[in-house]
Structure 1
Amino acid sequence: MVKPTNTLKGKTGVLGLPIVLYTLFFGLSGCRQDYSLSPPADSEKITVTVKLPKELKTETMWVMYRSATCKRIGSGASGQRTERDGYHSVYKQLERQGQSDLYQVELPKDGGGACRWHLANVTFGVVYADPSRYGESVIDGGGGGVVVIFDYNNSPHGGADIKVDGNLTIKEDYYPWVKEAFLGGYRKRISLAGKGGYYLMYQALQARHVYFEPILHSDFIVYSEQPKEKKEGNHTTFTYPDGSVVADGQSKPDFWKLQSLRTGRARECLSVWQYQKCPDRRPQLLPEWQPSSEKPGFGYYIIVDEWGNELPVYDYRLVGANGQIFRERTTADGHTQPLPNSAHPLREVEFPVQSW
């Protein structure tokens, strides 16, 4: 799951800050070093792919390389000399693959050059291709941004909320969010409301393929109207697709309310951490037997909710092929406890009422 990210979006789109600020180097060690990128011909590539809904377009990707060789020199609070890894930014457009809805870019992992650059992080995302469909004066308000970090440094937007092993696949639901603001001048924007903030933040140290599929539910629009007067007790008003109006002091729509309205399922059913409270639970045990790399002769299964999310700390009862009974709870990543190979294939699978 993705935690809400508080990074604010700037006026230049998903990049958040004017591009020119990040194309300049200052305070790097030395005066005449060559800071250019020069990827080796055999550099390993990282591929980023976006599956694009028809109402959206991809934003320019901000690619940051870092160098431990070419340092940035600065001053600390007491005037002392400080050194940090240097950085170099480039900007890429994702290219459409034939006539498909896939857009892609390949990035060299090794940036080469005298500074021995390495790929540090990428910032990319999707926005509305035509905001004016929601009104003549409507402008883009952001929302579907993604940051992927490939090293141990923070990105310009902060650190990762989720760390993954191997390649990264992101499939997220989004809803149109039309918001009006009055204080400081009238503004009307169309944003993408998701379960995170403006950016989904990942660290993927081993990833060589990043796949992002934003799923846009265009028929479920949420509207918000900020107060016209700055006064205690005045809050932004949200109007949801079912006509309900909420002004509870929140600054963004209730994503789980939107999910519940669209699916017709109780909101507890949509959260892996609250799934045990779901009034109509539909957990599943995936049929694939996974041999354990840490415990020879053992393996495990994965238990997921009806949406395909791994269920952490979830009760199960399994009857193995040899009749042995296993009643345990899943691990934090939805795995069963290690089972002997003799338990596979299973005879029975049950999910007792949670004992919470």
Structure 2
Amino acid sequence: MTSVYTSALTVLALSLNGCGQDYSLSPPADSEQITVTVKVPKELKAETMQVMYRSATCKRISQGPSGQRLESDGHHGFDVQLKRQGQSDLYQVKLPKDGGGACRWHLANVIFGVTYADPTRFGENVTAGAGGGVVVIFDYNNSPRGGAGIEVDGDLTIKKEYYPWLKENFLGGYSKRISLVGEGSIYLSYQALQARQVYFEPILHSDFTVYSTQPKVKKKGNHTTFTYPDGSVVADGQSQPDFLKLQMIRTGRDRDCFDVWRYANCPGRRPQLLPDWLPEPDQPGFGRYLIVDEWGNKLPSYFYRLVGENGEVFQGLTELNGRTNPLPESARALSKAEFPERVW
């Protein structure tokens, strides 16, 4: 048992059928490990990880609204600090998948993320706000933050872009917080049943801060004002910044360039062929390539034209998952990959 979680694996005070039992976790020595790694930008810090184990053996007993007996899986939660790996920007924790013990605990979910290490660099009395959170669920239960928004197979790699959001609030008491705004809500949630490696890399664009000021009086027509890095001011009733607008300001690209379904309308679209050859399980001797945009989004129904070293041409439309049609082994050596306008 490593020191990372030894102190956290304490006895959980539950009662089952009125009898005291040992609810402690006791991972077997040969338990599989799930490794969570976070690459932390220099302005941020890794937040404390919330870990939850569940047990179908040791039930939690409660009463329903009519006094009826309700049973649910027992759960055991604790906090863990991610440990810095040497002098690198990687922070990591290893958790046993099998929690062992009389209750036969299993790792159910983890909640972690990043936040600003020194909020006062944005001004006196500025505190750290929300954003930059991740939930990973390893079973079929909800986490304390709800269910999973995305299901993944195998290991999980998350690379997401974030912008600083300095917000000043007046209603309900004054506060000034520095948060992270990214694609989606405060927490990105995933179900990763087979994952043994979880990697999170938040990419912080610290030179593109968006500011918001809440109205001092709550009345119809008063909206929070957002001031974007390009100087534009918007007060359209939204409660958080427009992430795509921030992407557009930073890159100078059109909004359509960041939407996989509208990417074909992007005037400067930049498709690319990933180099990995993906063997086709049901067709020996055949494989596929994956075509994505510059942001890593898979491009469905996208026209490609591949030329082999011997001049053989392979062309068609990508499938919904961005993959080409099955191609023979001769397509592994390419002299050219083109993405012309589709003409049939």
TM-score, normalised to structure 1, is 0.88
Of residues 283-292 and 149-158 in structure 1, the stretch that sits farther from structure 2 once superposed is 283-292
Q: Which amino acid in structure 1 is aligned with residue 244 of structure 2? A: W
Distance 1:343 1:244, change over 3 A: same
Gap regions ≥5 residues in structure 1: 1-22
Quote the residue 1:228 is aligned against. 216
Asked whether 1:178 is paired with 2:166, we answer yes
Identity of aligned residues (%): 72
Give the conservation status (yes or no) of the 8 Å contact 2:12–2:24: no
1:85 aligns with 2:81: no
1:284 aligns with 2:266: no
Displacement of 1:104 after TM fit?
A: 0.8
CA distance in 2, matches of 1:331, 1:77: 50
Equivalent AA in structure 1 for residue 170 of structure 2: F
- Pick aligned residue for 2:257 from 261, 269, 284: 269
Q: Residues of 1 paired with 2:161 and 2:167: CA distance?
A: 19
Aligned to 2:7: none
Q: Kindly indicate whether residue 286 of structure 2 is the aligned counterpart of residue 298 of structure 1.
A: yes
1:198 is matched with 186
Q: Which residue of 2 aligns with 1:108?
A: 96
Q: CA deviation at 1:338?
A: 1.7
In structure 1, distance between residues paired with 2:17 and 2:231: 59
State the Cα distance separating 1:101 from its structure 2 match.
1.1
* Counterpart for residue 12 of structure 1: none
Query: 1:125 aligns to what?
Result: 113
- Contact 2:15–2:21 under 8 Å retained in 1: no
Q: What is the match of residue 205 of structure 2?
A: 217
CA distance in 1, matches of 2:188, 2:263: 23
Q: Which residue of structure 2 lines up, in the alignment, with residue 11 of structure 1? A: none
Deviates more, 1:58-67 or 1:302-311: 302-311
Q: Map of 1:27-106 to 2, 5 A cutoff?
A: 28-106=16-94
Quote how far apart the aligned CAs of 1:352 are: 3.2
Distance 2:71 2:181 in 1: 39
Instruction: Give the aligned residue type for 1:218.
Output: S
1:323-338 map, 5 Å: 325-338=313-326
Shift of 1:322: 7.0
**Cα displacement (A) at 1:95:** 0.8
1:16-43 deviation per Cα after TM superposition (whole angstroms, max 9, x unaligned): xxxxxxx976565553111111111111
- 1:298 CA displacement: 1.9
**Would the aligned equivalents of 1:29 and 1:70 in 2 still touch at CA under 8 Å?**
no
Equivalent position SS for 1:103: strand
Q: Which AA in structure 1 matches 2:262?
A: Q
How many residue pairs align between the two structures? 333
Give the C-alpha shift of residue 72 in structure 1: 1.4
The secondary structure found in structure 1 opposite 2:250 is helix
Which amino acid counterpart does residue 161 of structure 1 have in structure 2? G
Residues 14 and 20, structure 2, Cα contact 8 Å, conserved in 1: no
Q: What are the Cα deviations for residues 233-277 of structure 1, in whole angstroms up to 9, with x where unaligned? A: 221111000000111121111111111111122221122222111
Q: Secondary structure at the match of 2:143?
A: coil
Shift in Å at residue 217 of structure 1?
1.1
Q: Does 1:317 align with 2:305?
A: yes
Name structure 2 gaps, 5 residues minimum.
Answer: 1-10
Q: 1:132 Cα shift? A: 1.0
- AA aligned opposite 1:55: E
Question: 1:28 touches 1:86 (CA, 8 Å); kept in 2?
Answer: no
For 1:169, the equivalent position in structure 2 comes to: 157
1:276 and 1:354 in contact (8 A); partners too: no
Which residue of 2 is the match for residue 134 of structure 1?
122
Equivalent position amino acid for 2:260 in 1: V
Q: Displacement, 1:348?
A: 4.5
Give how far 1:100 is off. 1.2
Match for residue 240 of structure 1 among 200, 221, 228: 228
**Mapped partners of 2:335, 2:43: distance in 1:** 47
CA distance in 1, matches of 2:19, 2:311: 74
Residues 224 and 237, structure 1, Cα contact 8 Å, conserved in 2: yes
Q: Secondary structure at the match of 2:284?
A: coil
Deviation at 1:319, TM superposition (A): 4.5
Would you say the 8 A contact 1:321–1:344 is kept in 2?
no
- How far apart are the structure 2 equivalents of 1:342 and 1:77? 67
Greater relative contact order, per chain length (Cα 8 Å cut-off, separation 6+): 1
1:149 maps onto 2:137 in alignment: yes
Residues 247 and 75 of structure 1: CA distance in aligned 2, closer, same or farther (over 3 Å): same
- Deviation of 1:113 (Å): 0.6
After TM superposition, give the deviation of residue 286 of structure 1 in Å: 1.9
Distance 1:124 1:176 in 2: 19
**Partner of residue 19, structure 1:** none
Structure 2 length-normalised TM: 0.90
For residue 247 of structure 2, what is the amino acid of its counterpart? Q
